[in-house]
Amino acid sequence: MLQTMREKSKSWVTFVVVGVIAFMMAITGLESLAPNPNNSDVAKVNGEEISRFQLNQSIDQQRRAMIQQMGERFDPSLIDDKLLQENVLNSLIERSLLLQAAQSGKMDVSDASLDQLIISIPEFQQDGQFNQERFQMVLRSVGMTPLQFRSVLREDILMNQMQSGIAGSEFVTAAEIRKLNSLERQTRDIAWLTLKADKVRDSIQPSEDEIATYYESHSDRFMTEEQVVIQYVEMKKADLKGDIEISDQELRDEYHHYTDQLKETSRDKQQVSTILIETGDKRDLAAAKERAAEVEGKLAAGESFAELAKRYSDDPITAENGGDMGMVEAGFFGDTFDDAIAGLEIDEVSGPVETEFGLQILKVTAREKATLPTFDEVKAQLLSDLQNQEVNVLFLDQSRLLADISFEASDLTQPAEQLGLDIKVSEPFGRQGGADAITSNSRVIAEAFNEEVLELGANSELIEINPEEVLVLRVKEHRQPQQKPLEQVHDSIVQSLKAEKAREQLQGQAEQLIAQLHEGVDSKKVAEDAGLEWSESDDATRNQPGVARQLLTTAFKMPHPAEGKQAFDRTELPDGDIAVIALSQVHEGEASIDDEAQARMMAHYIAAGNGRVLFNQYVRSLKDDAKIKLYDEDK
């Protein structure tokens, strides 16, 4: 029976839409508490408006996604705000077009499918079952109603169906796979001369005039870092928690509520053993009853239940353990099963019980009563839970108040005084961030260098450092980049000049060698005259061990040489060396498909890439046929 249940469970479709929840959590952070008076429309797509509020939310969501993906490596200075806004607006336009296309194509998602999908989402479940209270709590935490969530979920499913239907139509033929295998397995006979850069660099001594000229012409390379000093007020949930008092009566009320919930979910457990005699294709009910009667007779004669289970039970999992099913909660195997074991004493054996799996002979080997904790046992936990509930509400209210006051105030004095917060001052830091937890935070860095905060002297929006801490900042001091003194960068300029001059000399030398080779000069003589030696690799693969990646990449891009001839090219290696490459022959790879599994994987990979291209072309065609007006650009 347990084996049957496991097989059934494997066939259940468990499609989890965590992305929808993550999307809404990303765009409804505490920053959205800040007032936004400018909520005009930014675009119109076939008559449907896209509001500035939608655009700002999506931009924030994109930033958060980048921060989460990059982690500590996230660098706000690399974000081009204008480009980000353009990309996000373009995504919103494409989303609108796809949803319009789905609607035009009469595509839809049934309410029943949405319901089934929602109850399967783990974030909405408790103890493996859908929990309505948890569902509503999660949605409230991201500022959504069930109706809004269903709408977003429906749209995302339609979008995925559109993309899957178009991209999934691509395929790759066996002939294409064979051609790709041939190219992948191609080998080449190559040789190369290596012109060493270190010796040339060591021989170069730039003059002071050259250094000064380089310093002036490349002044942008020798600038100090742009830096800011910020003032900020921060609010921490932990600081608010200490001010919350919970009365003894509130604790006792919560205890009663807690135990009432336990009573509803806690049930007595029984350790049960079973001998299952299956019915169905294997045997009919009459035959099963005969077999059960045979087992009952042997039990009456004193034979061991465990031994009989091993011999007669059709459930392989429990049979191996003498029929032992472990501890079983009421309701798990149905009412008939529960009624049968409820009337049994410890070690008492039931008669044959007809269930959906067949006939079962049951034995209760132990019972475990459900127990409720005492008030003293859970008092500390209840106190913490109630304080957390209170502080969550208080923290949200205070955060909203901090956002409102800071938005209207000309500096941080007013919010600090009204909310009892201290104004703190940071050490100078640049777009790469500072050394402490605040100035190294990517959200703080982004806001500190935001144009309105940096140039206009405005207070920042509310910044969520983490779910337990928020702050508002303003720039106290903006330190513009300054050119570093020549003395400070003198040595680095010398190294740059050496590298540039060495590269020029080596590139010129490589061109001369290739010119001689093209003129028909014997390759050995060319090498000897230059004091070099040819390195060779016959039948080199695209990943030939011991050969530099850059050299192989260039060699496999070179055109096929004419019969009896060589092709020549050059490439720069990572250490600055220059390699002159001679390609003698190309050996085509086998076009056969030796590994079917690998061929299928390659076909799937290529088809997926082609599918993405096809889908992008489809989106472009929707754009070409659409009436799109961008208000900001007056188009």
Dist. CA 347–CA 6, nearest whole Å: 27
Dist. CA 141–CA 123, nearest whole Å: 12
C-beta separation of 509 from 195 below 8 A: yes
C-beta separation of 532 from 193 below 8 A: yes
Backbone phi, psi, residue 309, to 5°: -65, -40
Closest among 498, 495, 517 to 506, alpha carbons compared: 498
In this structure, which amino acid lies at residue 278?
E
CB atoms within 10 A of CB 573: 17
pLDDT tens-digit profile of 476-504?
A: 999 999 999 999 999 999 999 999 999 99
3-state secondary structure 391-452: HHHHHHHHHHHHHHHHHHCCCCHHHHHHHCCCCEECCCEECCECCCCCCCCHHHHHHHCCHH
Strands of 41-45's sheet, edge to edge? 48-51, 41-45, 628-630
C-beta separation of 20 from 295 below 8 A: no
Backbone phi, psi, residue 49, to 5°: -85, 145
Tell me the pTM: 0.50
- 276 Rama sector, left if φ>0, alpha if ψ -120 to 50, beta otherwise: beta
pLDDT computed for residue 54 by the predictor:
82
- 434 Rama sector, left if φ>0, alpha if ψ -120 to 50, beta otherwise: beta
Dist. CA 17–CA 121, nearest whole Å: 6
In the block, residue with structure tokens 């935070």: 441
C-beta separation of 499 from 578 below 8 A: no
What 3-state class would DSSP assign to 510? Answer: helix
Q: Which helix (H) or strand (E) holds 27?
A: helix 18-27
CB atoms within 10 A of CB 318: 23
Dist. CA 370–CA 349, nearest whole Å: 23
Cite the beta strand spans of 452-534 per DSSP E.
463-466, 469-479
What 3-state class would DSSP assign to 31? Answer: helix
pLDDT computed for residue 77 by the predictor:
57
For 78-232, where are the alpha helices, taking DSSP H only?
A: 81-104, 111-119, 132-141, 146-167, 174-184, 197-203, 208-217
In eight-state DSSP terms, residue 328 is E
**Whats the size of the chain, residue-wise?**
635
- Give Dmax over CA atoms of the chain in angstroms: 112
In this structure, which amino acid lies at residue 47?
G
Dist. CA 582–CA 566, nearest whole Å: 6
Closest among 449, 454, 453, 447 to 471, alpha carbons compared: 447
Two tokens at 489?
A: 């960068």
Dist. CA 93–CA 494, nearest whole Å: 51
pLDDT computed for residue 15 by the predictor:
34
Beta bridge partners of 275: 361
Beta bridge partners of 13: none
Backbone phi, psi, residue 26, to 5°: -70, -35
For 266-334, where are the alpha helices, taking DSSP H only?
A: 285-300, 305-312, 316-320
Burial bucket for residue 581 (CB in 10 Å: 0-12, 13-18, 19+): buried
C-beta separation of 231 from 424 below 8 A: yes
C-beta separation of 477 from 451 below 8 A: no
C-beta separation of 45 from 32 below 8 A: no
Dist. CA 103–CA 169, nearest whole Å: 21
Dist. CA 41–CA 49, nearest whole Å: 6
Burial bucket for residue 614 (CB in 10 Å: 0-12, 13-18, 19+): middle
pLDDT computed for residue 70 by the predictor:
64
In order, the DSSP letters of 178-202 are HHHHHHHT-EEEEEEEEE-HHHHHH
Dist. CA 170–CA 548, nearest whole Å: 36
Q: Which helix (H) or strand (E) holds 235?
A: strand 227-236
Average pLDDT, the chain: 84
Per-position b or e across 496-511, b if 16+ CB within 10 A of its CB: bbbeebbbebbeebbe
Beta bridge partners of 363: 273, 349
C-beta separation of 484 from 220 below 8 A: no
In this structure, which amino acid lies at residue 316?
P
Dist. CA 522–CA 366, nearest whole Å: 93
Cite the beta strand spans of 467-508 per DSSP E.
469-479
In this structure, which amino acid lies at residue 326?
G
For the chain, which ranges sit under pLDDT 50? 1-39, 633-635
